[in-house]
Amino acid sequence: MGGIFGVVSSDNCAKTLFYGTDYHSHLGTENGGMAVLGAKGFYKTVHSVSQVQFKSRFVDDYKKLEGLEGRFGIGAIDDDSPQPLIFRSKFGVYAVAATGMISNKNELVNELLNEGASFGEMADGGVNNAEIVACLINRGNNIVEGIASMRGAIEGSVCALVLTEEGIYAARDKFGRFSLAVGKHKNQQEKKSYVVATEASSFENLGYELVQFLGPGEIVLLTPDGVKLMKPSGEEKKICSFLWIYTGYPSSSYEGISVEGTRERCGAYLARRDNVKADFVSGVPDSGVGHAIGYAMESGIPYRRALVKYTPGYGRSYTPPTQEIRDLVATMKLCAVRDVIQGNRIIICDDSIVRGTQLKNLTIKKLWDNGAKEIHVRPACPPLMFPCIYASSTRSTSELACRKAIRALEGKDLENPAEYLDTNSLKHAQMVDWIRRDINVTSLRYLTIEDMIAAIGLPSDQLCLHCWQGK
């Protein structure tokens, strides 16, 4: 995963760039960076943030950025490639930040090498995604044409910011799988400034207001004077449903639809189809909390905090690259409240069950160890059947809890799990019960895909549902 942020301003952009990029820290834990265009040209700073928070790691760089008096800047937090990167090309000097996933990366690298390209920026032994994006852009006759052809060449999904002397070119991925929002400073008389970001929630505290969400494939040029349309939106949209269920920050919105509101509606749908008796509802912090609140409001069962998150020093347990680190973070960050848990029947809402390992070995175990009488798990999305091919939102097929269940029930892996996708089938019920027994809970009931779509509020043909349907 990853997030990008850009700002164009009539005055020094360093503060807005620094804090705006930091507001994307929930989308990645590996690499962070910023680039600005100042009086003396382009400047970038890139660091690993795997062991330290973005603000702490970049505080000295921020002071330097302030001194450069740059008016245009872009930033990125990304799990795959250190960026932004600066390039000298036939279009002049520019900086690039790109987030997403290039599924045909090896093929494109070989193709570009055969054309005479060379790659100097390596990411964990592989070619940096931002450098691939830049090479593909350079194929065009101009930057806009280059961005459009780049997206045509890439299998997967890439949103990109290109920082030039003209301003910032902002381009949403071809099918709009991930959001890209534009905002303007609330007081244009005080400061002529525009921002663009993966997360629109980054705007408010920086003094900006939402102007628009870019459409799928749309390209705009941001300058201090405004936003110029360079390529109109395409008609086909397939935005990632997981943005609302898990990935997005609660205060964010996508396509004008609130993340927190959606999560509350997911919880309400879970409650409407449930008849379990319980003493209270709780959410796995933080992404399960909104779902649990919605469940509590709909059911009338009180909401209580059985688990609390130790916030200082711990981010998301999902985003680190290794299972060992993910388990360590998950273990340390969640603290059980024994006086709340002991002797009670608990409904636990979580955003999803991916592997099930953390839920089973860490969350559920803590509840049993602290005296829970019953534990009823309610994930706020259907069973995950397929790994994400657009932004690594889920891991490999074999790791998924559903696939482990199918393998145990069938004695082998299935290429086509169609029977298990049918929520009315016996095989689906057997799969869910196997997962229930594996994670050691009293009952398990998933949100249906129909209810998840209704909770989001967009037509199904505008949503990417690949993780659940494989298409």
Place of tokens 């996708």: 421
DSSP letter for 234, please.
P
Which stretch of 18-22, 372-376, 414-418 has the lowest confidence by average pLDDT? 414-418
Mean pLDDT computed over 460-464: 96
* Rounded Cα gap, residues 441 and 185, in angstroms: 50
Residue 378 CB coordination number (10 Å): 26
pLDDT digits (tens, 9 = 90+) for 280-299: 999 998 889 999 999 999 99
DSSP symbols for 357-406: HHIIIIIIHHHHHTT-SEEEEEESSPPP-S--SSS-SS--GGGSHHHHHH
Average pLDDT of every residue of the chain: 92
pLDDT digits (tens, 9 = 90+) for 250-268: 999 999 999 999 999 999 9
User: What confidence tier does 369 reach under pLDDT thresholds 50, 70, 90?
Assistant: very high
Q: 153 pLDDT exceeds 80?
A: yes
* Rounded Cα gap, residues 31 and 83, in angstroms: 7
Q: 168 pLDDT exceeds 60?
A: yes
pLDDT digits (tens, 9 = 90+) for 33-66: 999 999 889 999 999 988 788 999 999 999 999 9
Q: What percent of the chain has pLDDT over 90?
A: 78
Which of these, 181, 141, 177, lies nearest to 161 by C-alpha position?
181
Position 471 scores a pLDDT of 85
465 CB burial (10 A radius; 0-12, 13-18, 19+): buried
Position 414 scores a pLDDT of 92
Q: 117 pLDDT exceeds 90?
A: no
Please state the pTM of the whole predicted model. 0.90
pLDDT digits (tens, 9 = 90+) for 221-253: 999 999 999 999 998 999 999 999 999 999 999
Position 320 scores a pLDDT of 47
Position 317 scores a pLDDT of 47
* Rounded Cα gap, residues 123 and 107, in angstroms: 17
Position 361 scores a pLDDT of 86
Mean pLDDT computed over 111-137: 87
Mean pLDDT computed over 150-176: 95
Q: 167 pLDDT exceeds 90?
A: yes
Q: Which domains does the chain have, with CATH numbers?
A: 2-237 (3.60.20.10), 261-469 (3.40.50.2020)
pLDDT digits (tens, 9 = 90+) for 328-348: 566 677 899 999 999 999 999
Position 258 scores a pLDDT of 96
DSSP letter for 344, please.
-
* Rounded Cα gap, residues 199 and 249, in angstroms: 8
* Rounded Cα gap, residues 82 and 63, in angstroms: 21
Q: What percent of the chain has pLDDT over 70?
A: 94
Position 161 scores a pLDDT of 98
pLDDT digits (tens, 9 = 90+) for 419-439: 999 999 999 999 999 999 999
* Rounded Cα gap, residues 351 and 354, in angstroms: 10
DSSP letter for 303, please.
B
The residues pairing with 233 across neighbouring beta strands, listed in sequence order, are none
Q: 26 pLDDT exceeds 80?
A: yes
Place of tokens 């964010």: 252
pLDDT digits (tens, 9 = 90+) for 387-403: 888 865 555 788 899 99
